[in-house]
Every structure is written in C-alpha cells, then in structure tokens.
DNA sequence: GTGAAAGCGCTAACAT
DNA sequence: ATGTTAGCGCTTTCAC
C-alpha cells in the first residue's frame, strides 16, 4: 500500500507538504501542488481514511439502523439516505436490527467503536436516557420521547385519521385495527389516530377489533383470520402498514370474501407493491425516499453545526392514496 | 472519550497491560485481568476501532455493492450478508450503485480508502483487470470473467432452461424473452438459457421476441407493450427477473388479455411478492438469503485464509416454482 | 512556502 | 507478569 511518505519521497518533498497539497491548503506553492496532485493521480494514491479518521476525529461514516430491510418501506428510506450520503461524501453502515432490541443495542456500541459521525435510526425500543452515552449526533425516523434529538417522521395520527375517516364516510362503522408491536411508536400513534377518528364520529370500538402482532405480512394474515372468526367480523380494516394489509387481504380472500365489497382494507406506507394493478391497495403514503434524504442532510447539519439544530421535530404530511381495496 | 490510557491510570497499570487484558492475552495475571475487565465494564470503555484498525491493518468491515436495494431480491441478499456479518463480528457498508458504473467505480475507491477487509459485489460492469488494484478480497454474486476471485451464484442458464422448457411442454412455441441491461452477466446467461431451450426443441425465435431494457418494473411494462403491438404477439413470456414479469403482467392486463389463458408469464428470482395470492407468479427461485450468508462466510474465509480458497466458483441450483401465471 | 516533530488511540515487540 | 517504546498513516502545530 502506497503511503503518503512513499509519495513524498517520489516527489522529493516532505510528507507534510504532500498532505497540504492534497488537502488544498492555501499556503502551498501552486507549482508543487500541481506536481504532487499529478503524481498522486498517476500512482493511484488514496489517503488512508482510517489514519485520517484517527487524527481528525471524524470518519465521514454514519450508521443507519432499521428494523427490517425486507420491508420495502426501508429500502426506499435507505436509498434516500444513501443518495444524499454519496453526494456529501459519507458512507453508511447498514444495520438491520431485525426487530431485536439486543441487536439494536449491540449495533449502537459497535457504531460507537467504529467512530461513526452520527446515526439515523428507526428505533424499536425506548432508549430512556442511556442513549446519549453512545452517540453524539443522531436523527430519529420516528417519534421520540427525549427532546435532545432531532426526529423526522410523518404525522402518523393525522394519517390514520384520514384513513379511518375515509372508511367512515364510505359508510363503515365496524372498523378494525390491525397493528404491529404494541410498544413501537408508529404503532401507538396509528392506533391513536384510529381511535380518535372513531371517537369523533361517535363510533364505539369493539375491543376485539384492536389486534396487535408484528409488522410482517404473516402477522396480518393471522390477525385477520382472528377477526374473521369472531362473532361480528368488521366491514373494514385499517392496517398499520402495507405488509399487514397484504396479509389481511390474503385472509379475506381465503375466506371467499370480496374486497372491498365484503370487507374494505386500508394500509399504511404506500410501498411500491401497493400500487400493482393486482393489488391496488388504498393506503396512507409516506415520502419515503425524501425522508431518507432529509434525514441524512439533517444529520450532517447536526454533525457540522452544533447544538442549535438539535431538537428539531420535522413533521411531514401523509397523503391518502385511494385505490381499489376500499 | 475515554481512552486506554485513562483506563490504565484508573487501574494503576500501564496501558499495555490494559490492552493485553482486554485482548485476552495469556501472559496477563488472572487477577489484574479481572480487575481491568471489571473497570472497563463499569466505565463503559470501548476500544477505538479506528485506532485498532490502523495498527492491526484490519477493520472488521466489509462493503456490499449492489445495483438496486429497491428490488426485493437484494434486501434478501443483504439480510443474509448482514446476519452472517453480525455473527462473525463484521460491519457492512451498504453501497447501492444505482446501476451507475461511475458510482460503482467510485465506491470501490472509497471502500479502499476506508480500508475494508473485503467486498461482496453484484457488479454492473466488467472490471477487466483494474479490479485487483482496488481490493484484496472479494466475492462476486454473479458470474465473473477473471479467474482470481470467488463467485457464488445460481445456475442462470439451467434456471432459464427449466422455465422455458416448462412453457414449451405446456404447448407454447411463441415464447418471448424480456430482459434487463444487455451487458449484465445474469441477463446474458438467462437469455442464453432461453435460446438453448428453444433450440433444443427446434423452435425458431422471432428476433423481435428478444427485448432488453433494464431490470425495473416499468421496463417490463414497456417491453411487453412492444411485444403486444407486434404482428404476432407471443403466447408466453419469460422475464429475466420478477420485477420485469410484474411489469409485463401489467401490460397484458391493460390490453384486456388474460393470464395465463392468453399469455403465460414466468419470472426469475422469486421475490416475496411473487407469492402473493393476487400475483402467484411462476418463477425461478434463488436461495437469496442463503446466498448472502454464504457470500459473507466465503469472504471471511478468503480474508483469513489466503490464496488457496480463491477462485472458488459456487454454483447453486435454481428451482422452478410453478404458480398461476403459466 | 516548506520541513521537523508531536500526537491521534491503539497493538506488539522488546525489555525487565 | 508488567512496563517502555516504536510505530500504524495521517494532520497540524511550530519553526525556519
């Protein structure tokens, strides 16, 4: 591996000069700079980012913690993060927590060791106060209970209200909610939006109409089967994400029931596959790619800037996309 | 940030001893080790991995280069890579090349600078010989033309043959191929498998039946529309991946034609959404998750081992999953 | 404008 | 068994 010293030897200057030339320090002679830059190009010299990181205490690296890369919602986010990272010179560690708290925690310590400049996280548990021990800069893709950090997310409550009100306006009054893990913020807020919409229209909620599982398709399938098996099955279901909605649709079809005639279904996220002609899922859309991009840019601001940009809460507007399942 | 020297001071030993204790060197006194380990735990001390990387010339970090994280095929791979990386103590850089050669090349230099121990790559272009300038260890998720590196992939030709032969046995003789970028290995091999199967059954291929675009859904839509518009539309289509198949299905439906009655469709990959009840796409399955895991483990072997494991070619068996679109 | 030298946090060879 | 020291590749004072 070619080092800065090797290059300095070839150029006949001290390696400090090479460093200055390559880092565009103004004090270096224009001619020597050109010579050095040319030489570096010819030799294919690349500064060792690890060594740079050690002295500069900045690694130009961030961590992206998400629960499930397999849910098409997250790849969109990741793509946004990654595109923006690329443009700003950062590289991103992919940390798929797999809905495991242990793994989330473990990743945090690993990322700290690897000296990332910051993290973007869609958390799966409540960090309490331990969090700031681990990272200096972070942006959350979720509501977050401690004020110190920036978060960017869509208005989950509003989105859910829109979805449920739409169903109510369509004449439904037996509307069920199928959700993911109870403790996940997104789930709580979407449940709350559902409850508020029902309350605003003086609609009672049958307790069995509120189901919680996890955010995967199979879980939607299971919960919907339960709903279908109860004495008074709902005439509509609001699912806390599209994967759950897809699972619910499957259960409904297996029962021989028609969508939306017998049961209407509305999802959340608007993953790409929701728009397939065969699916045509009505759902609450999130600007996933833009959220990813924004998260990264906000994080960079925070890394660069200092305290004044902390504690920003960026709330984006959801959009109800009406298709054929409702 | 707490450093090893701070810790040494607190423990009342030299920092070399701390290093030895924490790295389980045998020569250190069992009692001092326990004391140090305890202290480190209490203080929440984590060794700086950047500093470790600099001296050990090993970063416990790898790069994963894929063309499109948005295609559900790749998240499955990524999850496999990531799970295995986690178990073996590695962290992975997500490098989404976005089908851009420039970005792929750029990532290679960035990863080199960041001193990754190796890379796993689903390449989008032919590196010629420049490649070994950049990385020491690599495994390809694709066929690869230069022998020095390990590659792991399924038998694309065989898989395509299986798919096309299945269509032929179903009585089809006007079978079209819609593919991705012409120069991508996967595409070439799948095209070849298609051609071989046709030839083996003495079936002529109408040149317009071979369409190439990119590997995205919209491209499948466009290509299928073209096929539908030609004088003698095919009675079956073999798509080089599931996204293309999904796009083709959309075009067929828009024409008011029935699947599989009027036109049969077969895809490749078996992404999760191919199995949705509403889709039920017949497709050639790849063991995506296992491929990812295997790729990572093979890479580690290579990093650790040396030359003897280079140039392994691991060819996995595809499986034809017959569903409702054929 | 350039060189010499210190030091980032750690490991490992060399002493003791 | 433990301490001392060199050095990984780089940036950044501090001299000149």
The closest CB to that of A94, out of B54, B78, B110, belongs to: B78
**Residue B38 CA to D1 C1' — how many Å?**
19
B75·A70 Cβ contact <8 A: yes
A93·B98 Cβ contact <8 A: no
Mutation pick from A86, A104, A269 vs chain B, by most beta carbons of B within 10 Å, is: A86
Which pLDDT score, from 0 to 100, does residue A78 have? 98
Chain B residues with CB under 8 Å of A113 CB are 46-49
* pLDDT one-digit tens code per residue, B1-13: 899 999 999 999 9
Query: What phi and psi values does residue B63 have, to the nearest 5 degrees?
Result: -110, 140
Contacts of B189 (CB under 8 A, 6+ apart): B143, B156, B157, B160
Query: What phi and psi values does residue A19 have, to the nearest 5 degrees?
Result: -55, -45
Residue B147 binned pLDDT confidence (cut-offs 50, 70, 90): confident
- Asked whether the beta carbons of A172 and A264 are under 8 A apart, the reply is yes
Mean pLDDT split into 10-residue runs, chain A, 326 residues: 92 94 93 94 95 97 98 98 98 97 95 96 83 77 81 96 97 97 96 98 96 97 97 96 97 95 97 94 98 96 74 91 96
Position B115 pLDDT exceeds 90: yes
What's the pTM? 0.96
* pLDDT one-digit tens code per residue, B166-176: 999 999 999 99
Residues 50-89 of B with CB under 8 A from A: 50-51, 53-54, 59, 61, 64, 69-70, 72, 74-76, 78-79, 82-83, 86
Taken in order B182, B184, B189, B190, is the CA torsion positive or negative? negative
Give the CB-side neighbour count of residue B44, counting CA atoms within 13 A: 11
Position B156 pLDDT exceeds 60: yes
Higher-confidence residue: B128 or B301? B301
What integer best gives the mean pLDDT of chain B?
A: 94
Q: How far is B2 from chain A (nearest CA, A)?
A: 11
Which pLDDT score, from 0 to 100, does residue B196 have? 98
- Closest residue of chain A to B90, computed from CA coordinates: A110
B91·A110 Cβ contact <8 A: yes
Residue B131 binned pLDDT confidence (cut-offs 50, 70, 90): low
- Asked whether the beta carbons of B284 and B318 are under 8 A apart, the reply is yes
Which pLDDT score, from 0 to 100, does residue A130 have? 65
Instruction: Quote the CA–CA distance of B172 and B119 in Å, as a whole number.
Output: 43
Which pLDDT score, from 0 to 100, does residue A67 have? 97
Which pLDDT score, from 0 to 100, does residue A185 have? 93
And the tokens for B50? 């950047």
Mutation pick from A109, A276, A292, A323 vs chain B, by most beta carbons of B within 10 Å, is: A276
Judged by DSSP in three states, A91 sits in strand
Judged by DSSP in three states, B125 sits in coil
- Other C-beta atoms closer than 10 Å to the C-beta of B25 total 12
């Amino acid at each position: 591996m070619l080092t800065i010293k090797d290059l300095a030897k070839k150029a006949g200057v001290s390696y400090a000069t090479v460093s200055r030339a390559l880092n565009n320090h103004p004090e270096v002679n224009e001619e020597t700079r050109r010579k050095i830059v040319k030489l570096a190009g010819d030799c294919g010299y690349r500064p060792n980012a690890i060594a740079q990181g050690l002295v500069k205490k900045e690694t130009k690296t961030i961590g992206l913690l998400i629960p499930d890369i397999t849910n098409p919602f997250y790849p969109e986010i990741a793509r946004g993060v990654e595109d923006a990272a690329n443009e700003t010179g950062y590289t991103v560690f992919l940390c798929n927590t797999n809905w495991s708290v242990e793994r989330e925690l473990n990743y945090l310590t690993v990322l700290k060791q690897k000296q990332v400049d910051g993290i973007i996280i869609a958390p799966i548990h409540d960090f309490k106060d331990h969090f700031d021990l681990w990272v200096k800069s972070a942006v959350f893709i979720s509501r977050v209970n401690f004020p110190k950090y920036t978060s960017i997310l869509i208005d989950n409550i509003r989105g859910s209200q829109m979805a449920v009100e739409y169903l109510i306006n369509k004449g439904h009054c037996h509307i069920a909610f199928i959700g993911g893990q109870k403790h996940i913020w997104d789930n709580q807020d979407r449940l709350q939006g559902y409850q508020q919409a029902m309350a605003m229209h003086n609609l009672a909620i049958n307790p069995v109409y509120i189901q919680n599982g996890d955010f995967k398709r199979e879980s939607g399938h299971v919960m919907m089967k339960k709903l279908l098996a109860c004495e008074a099955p709902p005439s509509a279901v609001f699912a806390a994400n599209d994967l759950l909605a897809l699972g619910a649709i499957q259960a409904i079809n297996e029962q021989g029931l028609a969508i939306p005639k017998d049961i209407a279904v509305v999802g959340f996220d608007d993953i790409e596959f929701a728009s397939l002609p065969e699916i045509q899922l009505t759902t609450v859309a999130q600007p996933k790619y833009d959220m990813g991009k924004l998260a990264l840019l906000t994080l960079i601001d925070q890394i660069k800037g200092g305290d004044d940009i902390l504690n920003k809460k960026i709330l984006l507007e959801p959009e109800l996309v009406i298709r054929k399942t409702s």
